[in-house]
A and B are shown apart, each in its own frame.
Chain A
Amino acid sequence: MTCGALNPMPEAAQYRRSPDVVMRLARMGAAHPTRLSFLRQMLRRVQQEGWQFDRPVWEFDARGQGRALYRAIGPERTYSLVAFGHDLPDEMRSDRVIATAWDATFTLFDGTPDAEDLERLALNVPVQEAGRVSPRELSLSRANKSVRLFDHVVARLAAGQQPDAAELTETGYLMRTTAVYGSGKFGAADRARIAGRPEMRAPFQAEMLSVWLTRAYTVDLVEHLARVRGGALAVPLAPELRRMLGVGNSTGLGMAPFLVRHPVLLNNWMMAREEALARVRAQATATPETLAGFEVALKAAQVNAQGWQSGHPVQQARLLELRDGLAAVCAHLRAGWDPHGDHPWDALWRWAERLLPLEAQEALAAAMIEPHGDLVDGLADCMAADEDSAFGIDGAMTVARARAILSERYGWAMALDHDTPEGCARFWYVSEEKLEPRLGERAAEPGAERELPLDISRQAAALARALMEWPEDAPIAKVLLAAPEHRLMLRRVQMAATRPLAEVRDNLIAADVLPIDLLRCKLAFFGATRFDPRSDRWVRISLFQGAPYPQDMAMGASL
């Protein structure tokens, strides 16, 4: 990780938070989006480069069945969202991966598809996992309606009225995606095929573009259905109401292992965000512009916290803490914080760390970073990862060196107890039925012998014990020859040597592990808001809520 080298600011180093603070699951589960989040990166690029948008195909019947094509035309390349609308009976609507039909299905096509491409995609995209796409496609996704809000909006628009703003706020989206597959899945283009393009270099840019264009589709569809129903009486959705709508997303355990399986990526994402916060804290003074921008961001965080609903008791308690915490920040700004003192951002942060709950601390971090685009936006370039180059094991490394890395990076794991029933209560596995990751109860469910290697802390402790048996100057190659079961962990240890934020510093098989914490951290890096857990392993979120639409970009919309 060379973020510091990319844009040297050595004085920020002393303001970085410790990995032992940053990488705890509870704090990762309180993550908020920042201006480095992937959808923000995508929107900034599209605006700065003056991308053009059109909709050359719109063929829908009165029930909303049909197809549409949305094009995003960049300076060098064009990407097209191909959308298929379906008439789905309520009893078939499920957000689970076990579903076989959806209200809408999508793919992001690399270029502009011709009639033959569209026919091929019409056979494969609507059946999702049961179909097959090609290297011309960059993503495969589907979405279900929020039935109540969707019907309400269509009915109102058809009658020549605008929908109820409170209802829009409460749900926040017309449709939610239930899976967005990319990177070689089901025959789609591999990451390597597009990673060299500037607009695709940052993580998940194809997926973000796909979801953003999906948002435009959801509004076009309600307006189409309203015109069908209301004829000349129908009106389009008012721009200020339209902007309040995002795209929902419903995510389960399938996403949970990602951050554990991709330690280099996790490190780079975390490093970029932490370096951003450190750079802000390292500022000796606060300019009038950043102070004004911070107030705007803080106000937006409060509005977001007020509109953010959850039916889950854990999140309900956190929302109260968030609202109270942000109110406390505002009170502190009025009476307490001296914005003209020495290192004012650092002073504010130290106050917050002492007094605020995690939710409010992380929201404050995002608000502090927000007005400092000039200082931090370059860090976005550090968030991609060449995982292949970190893959090879250095067999010549000595046992002494491996022990030293373990001690420096995995000391937290040595302190955990994995032998008690609580310490190894869970096991991660892939279900034969859907080839999806799940989390089982070791004592009550079969299958622990087929456990996935996500028990990182337990493996680290086992490796440390195994290394005790070896002389300090022995090469790791000899250890691996005798004990190949430690190979996976040794690879991680070598990766972690130069990547302090590569590991979640908690026991991922403990009885009290909350998978939604892993989901939230990843989704916050996407740019998600309104986290609404539906259980301890299932969460709904909103993407692009409050963001401009493609057609707003030409008018210089604020991001």
Chain B
Amino acid sequence: MTECAQDPTRAGSEPPDWAREVMQLSLSEITALATKAARGAGLSWGEAEEAGWACGWLARAGLPGTAMLLRVLERRDATCPLLKGIVLMDHAGLPEGPCVLPVTLQDVVEPLLLVPFLARVAERLGAPLDLDLGSQTICLTESEPVPDLSAMRGAGDRSGAEVTISLAKSSAAAAPGQFDGRIDRDVWTTLDGLALLTTVPASDVSRQRAGAQSSDND
């Protein structure tokens, strides 16, 4: 009922009435939807939890993480920023491996999906990082508080960009982010379709066994 940062056993609830093309989800709904969709798309449960966390983090920064996730899940390949972000985060501070800074990554689609993970890297290193997207640079100091990145909406080359991660030359404190839970109807529908791949169709046995064994009219 509460405290559901990560909640792999619940799908996002079904918004019933798409009166508008854009829907407002809660943070826990975004996290749950992204987690289940990532799992449905074939990631391990632990990676799917990271996807859910990252989409929630991006929503708190004012960015549509779920839309980015969907585009990545639809073309999961070597350019996947989700798995790259996880690897960089896991290897933060290790003397050898993929996170020895500066790092330049080629051909990254949806590079903003790297941001939550790089915020964790900065936190672990105790040093601010610059993420150079070519056209713009984002400075990350730590994962909390989440910075306001809403100005970055639409930034980053979706078809594949070169990005460079380095220790920051100076750290400018960003304003705290404002949660933005908006999601487009078609994004929600497609992610929900992926999320449903983690569920099991009902059978008479499962329906019957789930309940009490007597009437509720007493």
**Contact A430:B212 (CB < 8 A) given known A391-B6, A445-B203:** no
Residue contact A132 to B199, C-beta cutoff 8 Å:
no
Residue contact A430 to B2, C-beta cutoff 8 Å:
no
Using a Cβ cutoff of 8 Å, how many contacts connect chains A and B?
219
Residue contact A430 to B211, C-beta cutoff 8 Å:
no
Residues 464-502 (chain A) with a chain B CB within 8 angstroms: 475-478, 480-481, 484-491
* Alpha-carbon gap, A129 to B17, bound state (A): 12
Determine whether A428 belongs to the interface, using a CB cutoff of 8 Å to chain B.
yes
Determine whether A180 belongs to the interface, using a CB cutoff of 8 Å to chain B.
yes
* Alpha-carbon gap, A480 to B46, bound state (A): 10
The CB with the most chain B CB atoms within 10 A, among A127, A148, A188, A432, is that of A432
Q: Which of A56-64, A88-96, A280-288, A404-412 contacts B (4 or more CB under 8 A)?
A: A88-96
Determine whether A181 belongs to the interface, using a CB cutoff of 8 Å to chain B.
yes
* Alpha-carbon gap, A416 to B14, bound state (A): 39
Determine whether B94 belongs to the interface, using a CB cutoff of 8 Å to chain A.
yes
**Contact A477:B25 (CB < 8 A) given known A452-B8, A490-B46:** no
* Alpha-carbon gap, A387 to B144, bound state (A): 13
Residues of B within 8 A of A375 (CB): none
Residue contact B210 to A446, C-beta cutoff 8 Å:
no
* Alpha-carbon gap, A284 to B198, bound state (A): 55
Set A250, A387, A435, A444: member contacting B5, Cβ < 8 A: A387
Residues of B within 8 A of A188 (CB): 26
Residues of B within 8 A of A189 (CB): 26
Determine whether B134 belongs to the interface, using a CB cutoff of 8 Å to chain A.
no
Residues of A within 8 A of B200 (CB): 429-432, 438, 440, 446-447, 450
* Alpha-carbon gap, A378 to B59, bound state (A): 35
**Contact A93:B216 (CB < 8 A) given known A430-B10, A430-B199, A487-B46:** yes
**Contact A184:B92 (CB < 8 A) given known A431-B200, A487-B46:** no
Determine whether A74 belongs to the interface, using a CB cutoff of 8 Å to chain B.
no
Set B8, B16, B201: member contacting A432, Cβ < 8 A: B201
Residues of B within 8 A of A148 (CB): 218
A539 → B minimal CB distance (Å): 9
A138 → B minimal CB distance (Å): 10
Determine whether B28 belongs to the interface, using a CB cutoff of 8 Å to chain A.
yes
Set A184, A435, A484, A489: member contacting B47, Cβ < 8 A: A484
Determine whether B11 belongs to the interface, using a CB cutoff of 8 Å to chain A.
yes
* Alpha-carbon gap, A453 to B48, bound state (A): 12
Q: Which of A14-22, A363-371, A392-400 contacts B (4 or more CB under 8 A)?
A: A392-400
Residues of B within 8 A of A187 (CB): 15, 24-26, 29
Residue contact B26 to A135, C-beta cutoff 8 Å:
yes
* Alpha-carbon gap, A348 to B94, bound state (A): 53
Determine whether B160 belongs to the interface, using a CB cutoff of 8 Å to chain A.
no
A472 → B minimal CB distance (Å): 16
**A interface majority secondary structure:** mixed
Residues of A within 8 A of B45 (CB): 453, 485, 487-488
* Alpha-carbon gap, A429 to B47, bound state (A): 19
* Alpha-carbon gap, A490 to B124, bound state (A): 18
Set B93, B196, B212: member contacting A535, Cβ < 8 A: B212
B181 → A minimal CB distance (Å): 9
Determine whether B206 belongs to the interface, using a CB cutoff of 8 Å to chain A.
yes
B80 → A minimal CB distance (Å): 12
Determine whether A191 belongs to the interface, using a CB cutoff of 8 Å to chain B.
yes
**Contact A132:B16 (CB < 8 A) given known A191-B3, A538-B212:** yes
* Alpha-carbon gap, A432 to B193, bound state (A): 11
Residue contact A130 to B16, C-beta cutoff 8 Å:
yes
* Alpha-carbon gap, A488 to B6, bound state (A): 11
Set B11, B43, B87: member contacting A435, Cβ < 8 A: B11
Determine whether A197 belongs to the interface, using a CB cutoff of 8 Å to chain B.
no
Determine whether A146 belongs to the interface, using a CB cutoff of 8 Å to chain B.
yes
Q: Closest 10 A-B residue pairs measured CB to CB?
A: A487-B46, A184-B28, A447-B200, A395-B90, A184-B26, A534-B212, A477-B90, A488-B46, A183-B2, A432-B199
28 pairs, CB–CB < 8 Å, chain A vs chain B = A93-B216, A135-B26, A182-B2, A185-B28, A203-B2, A204-B1, A207-B1, A250-B212, A252-B212, A258-B1, A262-B3, A265-B3, A385-B3, A387-B6, A429-B199, A431-B202, A435-B10, A437-B9, A438-B206, A447-B200, A475-B91, A476-B90, A477-B94, A484-B46, A485-B44, A485-B45, A491-B49, A537-B209
Not counting A191-B2, A428-B9, a sample of 17 additional A-B residue pairs whose C-beta atoms are within 8 angstroms of each other reads A129-B13, A131-B16, A180-B1, A183-B2, A187-B26, A187-B29, A253-B210, A262-B3, A396-B92, A430-B200, A434-B202, A435-B199, A436-B210, A438-B209, A475-B94, A480-B90, A487-B49
